[in-house]
């Protein structure tokens, strides 16, 4: 949870004052490390649970402020989007049943949130990226009305000086341009914390970096973004784009991104990371700092280090070092940020147990991990895990290369069990969570694999948005059952989706996989495309991608009747017979209204246009399919009575 009383104003005096406070905080932290003022010998755990709020049609519900006001729960807080929320869990010891207590607290907070959400006809969903999000949801109309988020958006735009350009390639390829930081609201994570002592920080931080890849590979849950099948954990790529303040020039110079895995192993101290952050990254947010940290130390108290914490909070390392004060004791912790939210609470806890177990075991098994593998190997493993999940191949210690699933099952899971045991975790607790991880890997079903298989199984002619809603509805149903993801059956439209929810507006069922022609194309090509693809309408676009006409099967028949195909003097171009005076509709047009327009205008196809661009088609055949489905469902209901 970030500091909210901030500013992105970049006047020289304010920035210089903040930089002075930032350097003072860093110096004070060094003094605290040198004089033993940071807690050691305790490995408390904690977490932040992010979630989506969705409405009855499985779309984002922008009711976060209403939920917080009604819930009156201090552990719940805002995120950047009005359809996001975050729950901050209490720190606790891992020994005994500590992990089960964490699970119970998550369930408690979800129960509180769900109760209030349902009062507003909404639900809570745990997933890395909500499949039903649309780019139109990512406007500033849906940003949480909090100064921090407005200032963050302003600062990003000032530093970057241009729009955010997103290019991600997976099974599909997505190219997207966006003008604000709301891309960040697409992502929800389950961030887990581990308190570490200053003397062991470098060794354990490097270890957290090294094990991030195999843990992420087994935990991926974010393969779908804006209708595209991308990386198994698309959050990793998207979050970097959404908070990238680098201009094109700085990208060319390979200036590092604020979201990164890092540039190398650290050698001695957490100070190395904070120094690099101050040296590399411009101040993004500031606030007035009245504390003199050295004066606080001299009187025997602990400084807040507010400037250091604020600057650190604008740099999103996948393993982020943090300073904090709790119950009058200063501590350091590692925030492990790669893990997605969901698919279920027990799946999240299995991921957490795997991380904590490996951190305990491998620090003894390997000592300094930087002596057993290179940083580039660890970084490459991490990107491979995000791209491919359990299908990834990885280079492990001493150059051993192979499938990550084999590495997990044969080596890492047994070590994680021993690591948790060494921390005094109850045997039944270890088995509860690591058995889930083992089953998930053995059955080769992470949340991302479940989603991708579900999409592949939906082979009908329905729209992508229809498929996405079906997946979210099945995801929610399975999540509420509490069954871990390795037990889920693929989502099916007949099981999970109802036409009343998924066909209210044309965006929900319009065809988006379109074949288009150019005005100068031959009519022969139009006829061939219609024949090959079994379609009756083909849109016509000019060189700029603007919709300029529509050619139909009926136009072809009329041309044949008029004898135009028998011309011997030349070829017939599409522009000679296409309709140019088109009746179009917007994506958010109600289904009933679209049907009425089609009847009144006596047309069999309605191009769907947004901001002058063709985004879909709705045809009479779509309504025929809809009618057939409704009749079939009604007859099934009567047959069951």
pLDDT digits (tens, 9 = 90+) for 417-447: 999 999 999 999 999 999 999 999 999 999 9
Joined together, the tokens standing for residue 302 give 């602990």
CA–CA distance, 77 with 299 (Å, rounded to integer): 34
Range of weakest confidence among 104-108, 183-187, 405-409, 596-600: 596-600
* Helix (H) or strand (E) segment spanning residue 112: helix 98-119
- Strand, coil or helix: 484: coil
- Strand, coil or helix: 213: helix
CA–CA distance, 267 with 269 (Å, rounded to integer): 7
Average pLDDT over residues 73-92: 98
Residues of the chain with CATH 3.30.590.20: 12-442
The predicted pLDDT at position 269 comes to: 97
Range of weakest confidence among 64-68, 409-413, 625-629: 625-629
Domain 12-442 fold is Creatine Kinase; Chain A, domain 2 (3.30.590)
Phi, psi angle pair for 429, to nearest 5°: -70, -45
Range of weakest confidence among 53-67, 187-201, 211-225, 463-477: 463-477
What are the tens digits of pLDDT across the range 179-223?
Answer: 999 999 999 999 999 999 999 999 999 999 999 999 999 999 999
Torsion-angle region of 155 (φ positive above 0: left; ψ -120 to 50: alpha; else: beta): alpha
Is residue 1 pLDDT above 50, yes or no?
no
- Strand, coil or helix: 332: strand
Joined together, the tokens standing for residue 451 give 């989603």
Query: Of 488, 134, 496, nearest to 343 (Cα)?
Result: 488
The predicted pLDDT at position 398 comes to: 92
* Helix (H) or strand (E) segment spanning residue 437: helix 427-442
Question: What CATH number does the domain located at 508-629 have?
Answer: 3.10.580.10
What are the tens digits of pLDDT across the range 331-351?
Answer: 999 999 999 999 999 999 999
Residue 536: C-alpha distances to residues 552, 553, 600 (Å): 6, 5, 20
CA–CA distance, 329 with 421 (Å, rounded to integer): 27
Phi, psi angle pair for 598, to nearest 5°: -60, -40
Query: Of 8, 102, 32, nearest to 323 (Cα)?
Result: 32
Q: Given the structure tokens 């408390």, which residue do they identify?
A: 44
pLDDT band at residue 557 using 50, 70 and 90 as cut-offs: confident
Phi, psi angle pair for 608, to nearest 5°: -105, 120
The predicted pLDDT at position 553 comes to: 83
- Strand, coil or helix: 126: coil
Residue 299: C-alpha distances to residues 109, 292, 293, 308 (Å): 39, 11, 10, 21
* pTM, two decimal places: 0.88
The predicted pLDDT at position 484 comes to: 99
Residues of the chain with CATH 3.10.580.10: 508-629
């Amino acid at each position: 949870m970030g500091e909210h009383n901030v500013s992105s104003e970049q006047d020289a005096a304010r920035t210089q004052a903040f930089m002075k406070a930032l350097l003072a905080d860093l110096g004070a932290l060094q003094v605290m490390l040198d004089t033993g003022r940071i807690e050691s010998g305790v490995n408390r755990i904690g977490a932040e649970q992010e979630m989506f709020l969705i409405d009855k049609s499985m779309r984002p519900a922008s009711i976060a402020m209403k939920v917080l006001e009604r819930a009156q729960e201090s552990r719940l807080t805002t995120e950047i989007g009005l359809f996001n929320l975050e729950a901050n869990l209490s720190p606790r010891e891992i020994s005994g049943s500590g992990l089960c207590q964490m699970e119970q607290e998550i369930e408690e907070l979800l129960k509180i949130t769900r109760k209030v959400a349902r009062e507003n006809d909404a639900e809570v969903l745990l997933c890395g990226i909500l499949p039903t999000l649309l780019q139109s949801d990512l406007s500033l109309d849906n940003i949480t009305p909090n100064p921090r988020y407005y200032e963050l958006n302003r600062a990003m735009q000032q530093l970057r000086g241009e729009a955010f350009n997103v290019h991600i390639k997976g099974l599909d390829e997505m190219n997207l341009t966006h003008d604000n930081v709301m891309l960040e609201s697409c992502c929800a994570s389950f961030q887990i914390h581990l308190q570490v002592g200053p003397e062991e920080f470098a060794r354990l931080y490097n270890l957290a970096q090294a094990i991030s890849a195999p843990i992420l590979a087994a935990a991926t849950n974010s393969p779908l973004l804006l209708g595209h099948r991308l990386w198994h954990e698309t959050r990793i790529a998207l979050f970097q784009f959404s908070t990238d303040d680098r201009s094109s020039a700085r990208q060319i110079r390979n200036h590092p991104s604020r979201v990164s895995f890092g540039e190398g192993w650290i050698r001695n101290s957490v100070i190395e990371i904070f120094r690099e952050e101050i040296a590399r990254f411009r101040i993004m947010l500031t606030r007035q700092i009245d504390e003199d940290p050295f004066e606080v130390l001299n009187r025997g108290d602990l400084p807040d280090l507010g400037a250091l914490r604020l600057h650190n909070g604008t740099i999103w390392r996948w393993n982020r070092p943090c300073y904090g004060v709790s119950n009058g004791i200063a501590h350091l912790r590692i925030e492990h940020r790669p893990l997605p939210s969901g698919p279920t609470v027990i799946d999240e806890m299995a991921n957490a147990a795997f991380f904590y177990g490996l951190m305990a075991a491998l620090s003894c098994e390997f000592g300094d991990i930087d002596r057993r593998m290179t940083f580039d190997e660890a970084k490459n493993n991490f990107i491979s895990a995000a791209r491919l999940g359990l299908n990834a191949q990885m280079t492990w210690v001493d150059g051993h290369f192979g499938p990550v699933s084999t590495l997990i099952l044969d080596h890492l899971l047994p070590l994680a069990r021993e690591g948790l045991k060494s921390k005094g975790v109850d045997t039944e607790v270890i088995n509860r969570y690591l058995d889930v991880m083992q089953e998930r890997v053995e059955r080769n079903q992470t949340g991302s694999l479940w989603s991708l298989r579900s999409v592949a199984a939906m082979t009908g002619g329905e729209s992508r948005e229809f498929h996405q809603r079906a997946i979210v509805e099945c995801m929610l149903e399975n999540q509420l059952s509490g069954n871990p993801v390795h037990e889920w059956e693929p989502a099916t439209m007949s099981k999970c989706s109802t036409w009343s929810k998924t066909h209210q507006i044309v965006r929900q069922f319009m065809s988006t996989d379109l074949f288009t022609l150019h005005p100068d194309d031959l009519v022969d090509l139009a006829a061939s495309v219609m024949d090959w693809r079994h379609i009756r309408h083909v849109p016509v676009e000019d060189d700029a991608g603007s919709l300029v006409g529509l050619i139909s099967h009926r136009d072809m028949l009329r041309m044949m009747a008029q004898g135009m195909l028998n011309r011997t003097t030349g070829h017939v171009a599409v522009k000679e017979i296409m309709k140019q005076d088109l009746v179009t509709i917007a994506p958010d047009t109600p289904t009933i209204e679209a049907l009425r327009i089609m009847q009144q205008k006596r047309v069999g196809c309605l191009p769907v246009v947004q901001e002058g661009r063709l985004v879909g088609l709705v045809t009479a055949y779509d309504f025929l399919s809809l009618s057939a489905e409704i009749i079939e469902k009604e007859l099934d209901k009567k047959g069951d009575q």
